[in-house]
């Protein structure tokens, strides 16, 4: 895995303190949202646990001894939620789904692969799509099932696919 390129803010100590100045805070939050999504994308993380996240390299830069407080992380997560990139899995907001790509965007990628390979009108199991040999070099390889389903549902609402039930799980037919 290629090493992750941290933006300049990551090594700037104040970046880990929620800024009192409103304009500066806006820039800070935008940068954090970007960074969080890039990081999760790079590590192919689809869910985050808030307490674990606080200790991860993302929110804790050991080299400069700075880390985001839990409140700060909550503020950032709220921003991400507002932008449609995050969904809470529980009422207590301890765990969340992180969508560095939205379901529609995944759907588009999957459909492109399907039509490029002339496989429209074929049926696939979810497993084949996310973990099959044929999709190994695709970006959606390794996509977690919940996300894959959402992507396919997005395609379904566009009339490009239909999610069906197979013997041992779900599948999809592309049009």
Partner 1 sequence: MHRRGVGAGAIAKKKFAEAKYKERGTVLAEDQIAQMSKQLETFRSHLEEFASKHKQEIRKSSQFRVQFQEMCATIGVDPLASGKGFWSEMLGVGDFYYELGVQIIEVCLALKHRNGGLITLDELHQRVLKGRGKFAQDVSQDDLVRAIKKLKAMGNGFGMIPVGGSYLVQSVPAELNMDHTVVLQLAERKGYVTVSEVKEGLKWERERAGHVLDHLLKEGLAWLDMQADGEPQYWLPALFSDLTSQDVSPEEANQMSP
Binding site for partner 1 (CB under 8 A): 7-8, 11-17, 19-21, 23-24, 27-28, 30-31, 34-35, 38, 65-67
Instruction: Report the nearest approach of partner 1 to the CB of residue 42 (Å).
Output: 14
**Cα atoms found within 13 Å of the Cα of residue 27, Cβ hemisphere only:** 8
In the complex, the smallest distance separating the C-beta of residue 51 from partner 1, rounded to whole angstroms, is 19
Cβ–Cβ < 8 Å for 126, 170: yes
Nearer to partner 1, 35 or 40 (CB): 35
Question: Which residue, 13 or 142, is less far from partner 1 as judged by CB?
Answer: 13
Q: For the CB of residue 12, give the shortest distance to partner 1 in the complex, in Å.
A: 6
Q: Kindly give, in sequence order, each residue whose CB lies less than 8 Å from that of residue 108, ignoring residues fewer than 6 positions away.
A: none
Closer residue to partner 1 (CB): 41 or 170: 41
Residue placing its CB nearer to partner 1 in the complex, 100 or 124: 100
Q: Count CA atoms closer than 13 A to 124's CA, side-chain side.
A: 23
Residue 99 Cβ vs partner 1, minimum distance, rounded to whole Å: 17
| Residue 52 neighbours by CB under 8 Å, 6+ apart | none
- Look at residues 34, 29, 3 and name the one whose alpha carbon lies nearest to residue 16: 29
- Secondary structure (DSSP) of 110-126: HHHHHHHTT-TT-EEEH
Q: Two tokens at 2?
A: 């290629």
Cβ closest to partner 1, residue 34 vs residue 122: 34
Nearest approach in angstroms of CB 36 to partner 1 is: 11
């Amino acid at each position: 895995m290629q090493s992750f390129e941290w933006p300049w803010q990551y090594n700037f100590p104040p970046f880990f303190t929620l800024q009192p100045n409103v304009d500066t805070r806006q820039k800070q939050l935008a940068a954090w949202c970007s960074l969080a999504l890039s990081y999760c994308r790079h590590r192919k993380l689809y869910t985050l646990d808030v307490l674990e996240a606080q200790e991860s390299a993302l929110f804790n830069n050991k080299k400069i001894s700075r880390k985001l407080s839990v409140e700060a992380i909550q503020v950032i997560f709220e921003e991400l939620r507002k932008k449609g990139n995050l969904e809470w899995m529980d009422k207590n907001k301890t765990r969340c789904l992180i969508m560095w790509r939205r379901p529609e965007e995944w759907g588009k990628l999957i459909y492109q692969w399907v039509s490029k390979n002339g496989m429209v009108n074929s049926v696939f199991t979810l497993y084949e799509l996310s973990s099959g040999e044929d999709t190994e070099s695709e970006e959606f390889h390794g996509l977690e099932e919940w996300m894959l389903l959402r992507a396919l549902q997005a395609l379904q609402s566009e009339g490009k696919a239909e999610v069906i039930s197979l013997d041992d799980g779900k599948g999809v037919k592309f049009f």
